[in-house]
Structure 1
Amino acid sequence: MPHPSAPQTPSVAVVIPAYNEAGTVAEVVRVALELTPQVVVASDGSDDETAAVARAAGATVVELPQNGGKGAALSAALNATNAEYIVMLDADLTGLTPDHLNRMLRPVLDGRLDMSIGVFEGGGFVTDWGNKLTPHLSGQRVCRRDLLLAVPHLGEERWPEPAITAHLKTTGARWDYVELPHVGQVLKEKKRGFWNGVWARTRMYADLLTFRARRKKP
């Protein structure tokens, strides 16, 4: 039995919003489980085997009845854990290792940062280019759970990263980028076919980059 004054190990959960990511989610879950047994996948109205695959890989799975956007899935995943610290991951990552997770987690646990944001390096030209052009839109992040829960309208955002970054700036939180060598993402064009993928990517960036204008509307 631990001594009453012994420091408590901080609780960490990995949360993974996912929409039709049956082909990649199991590997992301596998890596996440090497960091912590608390891995939550929120299937955002997926109509493929995402939920079943994630559950078979060992994750706790929350199934949303319809596609509400990444913000809704993230909120559902956060409500499924009471962990003090959260590691946010996309479900379509490639090249991920436990070392990458520790790179993001360490400065937050040490108290140097309130949030770390992972940026791809050497994972593929297209994903590297997009991630470096708009690093503040990265979905790979680590912070305290209460910081995320305090983000205004988090569950209403189809893509919540701009809202999270805006909250960091508003609150004066300490944050910085952490390079994730050899990590990339499966391109939407590969997952959905070229033209469907281009359309999905265009809609995603349009929504992400118009966040400020939309939030200023009465």
Structure 2
Amino acid sequence: MRPASHTSDSAQPRAPQPSVAVVIPAFNEEDTVAEVVQVALTLTGDVVVASDGSADNTVGAAQKAGAKVVDLQPNGGKGPALKAALEATEADYVVMLDADLTGLTKAHLEKLLLPVLRGELDMSIGVFEGGGFVTDWGNKLTPHLSGQRACRRDWLLGVPQLGEERWPEPAITQHLKDTGARWDYVELPQVAQVVKEKKRGFWKGAKARTKMYFDLLTYGARKKRG
């Protein structure tokens, strides 16, 4: 009689680990994009920067830091840049980051990503806490407009008109509602953004900020007209 064979746990085939990419839309962010890329690379080797018609050295800085770069010309908006970055990777999951963040660490990225990987959320949305009054205040006033998110890549590519919206966050929020997705806010302590007024000068920055919020907050009305 032949002895029963036993298969050890170590011989059992392991389920493939989900792949993760970090995608970073960027417009004229040569001063900060390299630092964001370097932190992203501590989480995954698949980091994609989509330069949205940048006129400075964003492309060179991102490449030197180790990112794969998609150089889009001319400037078309964050939505087209985000879609291009998503199409430049085949990862299962993505962490979406702005290119002008300061104070970012690997722990922040893990805090965004892990609830999604564990199946607790379909999307996590990062909000700043303690990074500075201006960015904290703006982020908490309109947290649904945050650019720091984690989700499945295929879900994000399924957002209607993603590549047509200059600012894609309202379209993403609407898709969360339409699909009944599970989502929640995740605090990112000590993270901030370089405000537009500092990057471009006060008046140009204030003008750019006003136009951005106008575009973001009129998304619903434009969708109804469309």
Q: Shorter-chain TM-score: what band?
A: over 0.9
Corresponding residue for 2:109? 101
User: Structure 1: which 5+ residue stretches go unaligned?
Assistant: none
Greater Rg by CA: 2
Question: How many residues are matched?
Answer: 217
Whole-Å separation in 2 of the counterparts to 1:212 and 1:44: 24
Corresponding residue for 2:171? 163
Corresponding residue for 1:184? 192
Per-residue CA shift, 1:143-179, capped at 9, x if unaligned? 0001111000000010000000100000000000000
User: Structure 2: which 5+ residue stretches go unaligned?
Assistant: 1-9
Whole-Å separation in 2 of the counterparts to 1:31 and 1:132: 24
Q: SS where residue 152 of structure 1 aligns?
A: coil
Matches of residues 115-194 of structure 1 in structure 2 within 5 Å? 115-194=123-202
Corresponding residue for 1:75? 83
Whole-Å separation in 2 of the counterparts to 1:125 and 1:147: 33
Per-residue CA shift, 1:73-108, capped at 9, x if unaligned? 000000000000000000000000000000000100
1:19 pairs with 2:39:
no
Q: SS where residue 120 of structure 2 aligns?
A: coil
The one-letter code sitting in structure 2 at the alignment partner of 1:51 is: V
Superposition CA RMSD, Å: 0.9
Corresponding residue for 1:211? 219
Corresponding residue for 2:5? none
Corresponding residue for 2:6? none
Whole-Å separation in 2 of the counterparts to 1:21 and 1:143: 24
The one-letter code sitting in structure 2 at the alignment partner of 1:206 is: F
Shift of 1:9: 1.2
Per-residue CA shift, 1:101-132, capped at 9, x if unaligned? 00000100000000000000001101000100
Whole-Å separation in 2 of the counterparts to 1:211 and 1:36: 33
Q: TM-score, normalised by structure 1?
A: 0.98
Q: SS where residue 46 of structure 1 aligns?
A: coil
Corresponding residue for 1:51? 59
Q: Percent identity?
A: 73
Shift of 1:8: 1.3
Shift of 1:5: 2.2
Shift of 1:3: 5.3
Whole-Å separation in 2 of the counterparts to 1:120 and 1:8: 33
Q: SS where residue 143 of structure 1 aligns?
A: strand
The one-letter code sitting in structure 1 at the alignment partner of 2:165 is: E
Could you list the structure 1 runs, at least 4 aligned residues long, displaced by more than 3 angstroms after superposition.
none
1:61 pairs with 2:62:
no
Corresponding residue for 2:204? 196
Are the structure 2 counterparts of residues 77 and 3 from structure 1 closer, same or farther at C-alpha, using a change threshold of 3 Å?
A: farther
Q: TM-score, normalised by structure 2?
A: 0.95
